[in-house]
Amino acid sequence: MNNPRVVVYYPGTNIIYWKATSGARVEVLTSGQLQAHAFNDTQESMNQVEDPNQEFPPGHYLPFPIAVAEISNDRDFFFEICIY
């Protein structure tokens, strides 16, 4: 994971990473469908010119350092939370 972001989610995958600067890391894995939203979803767009009509993803409104993982499936599934 060579991404400088604190919360990393790769759409289409079933894993989300949350890494504190102290080195601790949390991974959420699932066999279900995973959608993740994090406070830093719009981090890259903060360097752009302000657009008053811009719509922001749900994670934009979360406080630092919160991330939300939504797991769903229409049958049995597993999820695992690993703390390193």
| Domain map (residue ranges) of the chain | 7-43+58-83
Helical segments of the chain, H only: none
pLDDT at residue 1 in the model: 45
| Cα–Cα dist 54/65, whole Å | 23
pLDDT at residue 19 in the model: 75
pTM of the predicted protein model: 0.62
Q: Name residue 1's beta-bridge partners.
A: none
Counting beta carbons within 10 angstroms of the beta carbon of residue 18, is it exposed (0 to 12), middle (13 to 18) or buried (19 or more)? buried
Nearest to 32 by CA among 82, 78, 80: 78
What would the pLDDT profile of 43-83 be if each residue is shown by its tens digit? 677 777 887 887 877 777 677 777 778 888 888 888 898 88
Mean pLDDT over all residues of the chain? 77
In three-state secondary structure terms, 43 is: helix
Our measurement of the distance from residue 68's CA atom to the centroid of its chain's CA atoms, rounded to an integer in Å, reads: 7
